[in-house]
Amino acid sequence: GNIANSSPRYQSCAIVLGLGGKPEQLVNLNETKRDNVLMIKRFSGGGTVVVDHDSLLTTFIGRTDALPDVQPYPREIMQWSSDTIFGPVFDSLKADVLKNVSSDACGDFPKKKTLVMHGKSCGLNDNRQLTTSNNAAPIHVPDFELRENDYVLGVKKMGGNAQSIVKGGWLHHTSFLWDYVDDHMQYLTLPNKRPDYRGDRSHDDFLAKLKSYYGSLDNGKKVFFDRFKEATEHTFHVEEVSLKEVIGLVDEELGGMQTWFDGKCRTRIIEHG
C-alpha cells in the first residue's frame, strides 16, 4: 500500500497486531471490514491494540553494551522501564493531579484539616483522602504498577506494549491510552491467551483511560510527555529532534519512508479478504 495516501480512506483508528497475531482469532473481521478499519501487522511481538490520535506512543531503542544492567528479555526490559522511567512518570502525574485539586479546592491552605471557601468545604476525610466538598467522593488516582507483562493503574491496563529483541539490541514500545472511542474496542475479540489478573473481563472493564485520572491537568497529554522527558533525563542525556529532522534522516539514509516501507520494513498493512 501507499502509506502517504492510504489514511484518508480508513476509519479514524487503526488495529495493530503483533508479529505472530492472527486476525481471524483476534479481530472481529466482519466489523472491521464493514467500517473499513486499517489493520497493521507490526514487526514486534505482543498483543493487539487499537490506536488513534489519543494514543500516546513511546519507544526505547537500547543497545546491550550501552545498557549492560538490562537483560535483553521482555520481562527484564519492562522491569527496567517501570522502575527507571514509567514509575517516576506516573508518580509525578499523580502528584500533579493532587496538587491541582488541593490548590483549586482549598486555595493556599491545603494542609488545613477542614476549610470553607466560597461556600464549599474541602480537606481530608477520616482516611486522609483529599475531598473537595462534604458530599464529594474522595479523589483517587491508582498507583502505577507492572503486573505480569502489563502496565496497569490499579487493576486496569492502560496501554499495550511489545518488544523486538535482536543480537546486540532491543526495542520496547508502548501505546498508552489517554482516551479512546468505546465502540472501537468492539473490533477486538477476547483473546484466548490473556493475563491471569484480567480473567474474563471485557475490554471496557479491563482498560483504563489516562484521561479519567489525569484529565484535570491543563494540556494533559503534553504534561505526560514533559514528565516522561524529565524521568528519562535522570538516566540519559536527552537531545530533542523535530519530526522534520527525522523525516530528513529517513530520506537521506533510507531513500524515504515509502521506499523503506516497500522494501526492508517488516511492518505490513493487512488487507481485508
Query: According to the model, what pLDDT value does residue 110 have?
Result: 46
Pairing of strands 144-147, 268-270: unpaired
Query: According to the model, what pLDDT value does residue 140 have?
Result: 87
- Give every strand in the sheet of 144-147, ordered side by side: 144-147, 150-153, 156-157
Query: What's the gap between Cα 55 and its chain centre?
Result: 6
Residue whose C-alpha cell reads 523486538 in the numeric block: 164
Closest CA to 55 of 243, 204, 221, 218: 221
CB 160 within 8 Å of CB 175: yes
Q: What is the pLDDT along the chain (273 residues), one digit of tens a residue?
A: 665 555 555 678 999 999 999 999 999 999 999 999 999 999 999 999 999 999 999 999 999 999 999 999 999 999 999 999 999 999 999 999 999 877 665 555 444 444 444 444 455 555 555 555 444 455 789 999 999 999 999 999 999 999 999 999 999 999 999 999 999 999 999 988 889 999 999 888 999 999 999 999 999 999 999 999 999 999 999 999 999 999 999 999 999 999 999 999 999 999 987
Query: Is residue 159 helix, strand or coil?
Result: strand
Closest CA to 212 of 44, 113, 97, 63: 97
Closest CA to 168 of 47, 61, 27, 22: 61
CB 175 within 8 Å of CB 55: yes
SS3 content of the chain, % helix, strand, coil (to 5): 35, 25, 40
Pairing of strands 150-153, 144-147: antiparallel
Query: Is residue 118 helix, strand or coil?
Result: coil
Q: What is the rounded distance in angstroms from the CA atom of residue 39 to the CA atom of residue 253?
A: 27
Q: What is the rounded distance in angstroms from the CA atom of residue 93 to the CA atom of residue 103?
A: 15
Query: According to the model, what pLDDT value does residue 120 have?
Result: 46
Residue 140 cell numbers, joined: 483517587
